[in-house]
């Protein structure tokens, strides 16, 4: 499937994908900033998590999903997954040079500007923290600002969020996991936590509770979903692709795993009940 700027239509939908349900945190920001747009959300849950896949596997999945979304008429693409952005966005832009594409990356730059003491923890998946793109960004921002970034892999956290286990009970397994990952960061004096995976904003309340249990200091949490939505708005405006239709916007879900699981995530995380379809892509 090819994409050409000349055939793109403003009333076409925006395609959003993630390895699972984490990208719904980005979709939430997009719906808030672009409430008139039709959206398609693709959860590649049968292949989740991407963090334990090779870079080539993530590239292959990203290309296959993008081809499907373009077949459905997508006018723009949001890679709502840190791991997929790091591994595959270069390949996606090479394959589809005319397609407006927005990726997500951990908010190291905004964190450096916010931090009072320059000590910042980056919570992310193992693969995201190993990626050359993130390591290069860390070096660049550190050199420019003097900030120190402590990288903390949160093994298993995205999987729990996939199951809508959001740490609502201070004694549950998700809360214990957050305590294990965050407490050592606070002991090192960080004053800013970067949520470096799109799943993590859904446990933001549990993270804040964990922080309060360990320090009276004010700790800032950085979620880049808002910045992704703003960049998408800019790209749509630059390409004259913003939807101006007054009809009610549509939202369609797709998943490579169980329909019920994505429907539960839409309801439990966003209080939405869109149609969801199973696909083998």
Q: Which residues are catalytic?
A: 81, 197
Angle, vertex CA 178, rays to CA 172 and CA 179, nearest 5: 90
**Cα separations in angstroms, 2 against 6, 60, 89, 139, 192:** 12, 16, 16, 36, 42
Q: How many helices (H) and strands (E) does the chain have?
A: 11, 10
Write out the H or E segment, with its range, that includes residue 18. Answer: strand 14-18
Q: Which of 232, 223, 252 is nearest to 33 (CA)?
A: 232
17 and 82 in contact (C-beta within 8 Å)?
no
Nearest to 222 by CA among 238, 240, 201: 201
> CA gyration radius for the chain?
18
Three-state secondary-structure class, residue 45: helix
Alpha carbon distance 183, 180 (integer Å): 6
Each residue of 151-182: b (16+ CB within 10 Å) or e?
Answer: bbbbeebbebbbebbbbeeeeeebbebbbebb
Task: Identify each DSSP E strand in 51-169 by its residue range.
Answer: 76-79, 101-103, 119-124, 148-153
Torsion angle (degrees, nearest 10) of CA 90, 82, 126, 135: 60
Half-sphere exposure at residue 6, Cβ-oriented, CA atoms within 13 angstroms: 0
């Amino acid at each position: 499937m090819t994409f050409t700027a000349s055939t793109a239509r403003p009333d076409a939908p925006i395609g959003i994908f993630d390895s699972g349900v984490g990208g719904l945190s980005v979709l939430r920001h997009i719906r808030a900033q672009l409430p008139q747009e039709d959206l398609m959300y693709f959860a590649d849950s049968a292949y989740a998590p991407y963090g334990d896949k090779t870079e080539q596997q993530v590239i292959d999945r990203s290309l296959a999903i993008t081809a499907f979304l373009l077949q459905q008429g997508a006018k723009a693409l949001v890679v709502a997954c840190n791991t997929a952005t790091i591994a595959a966005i270069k390949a996606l832009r090479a394959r589809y040079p005319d397609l407006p594409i927005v990726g997500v990356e951990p908010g190291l730059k905004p964190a450096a500007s916010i931090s009072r003491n320059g000590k910042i923890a980056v919570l992310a998946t193992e693969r995201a923290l190993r990626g050359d793109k993130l390591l290069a960004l860390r070096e660049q921002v550190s050199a420019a600002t003097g900030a120190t970034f402590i990288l903390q892999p949160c093994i298993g956290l995205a999987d729990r969020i996939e199951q809508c286990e959001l740490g609502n009970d201070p004694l549950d397994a998700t809360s214990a996991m957050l305590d294990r990952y965050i407490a050592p960061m606070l002991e090192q004096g960080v004053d800013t936590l970067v949520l470096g995976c799109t799943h993590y904003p859904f446990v933001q309340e549990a993270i804040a509770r964990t922080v309060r249990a360990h320090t009276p200091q004010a700790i800032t949490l950085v979620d880049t979903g808002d910045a992704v939505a703003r960049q998408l708005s800019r790209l749509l405006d630059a390409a004259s692709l913003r939807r101006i239709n007054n009809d009610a916007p549509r939202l369609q879900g797709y998943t490579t795993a169980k329909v019920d699981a994505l429907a539960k995530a839409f309801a439990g995380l966003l209080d939405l009940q869109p149609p969801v379809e199973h696909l083998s892509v």
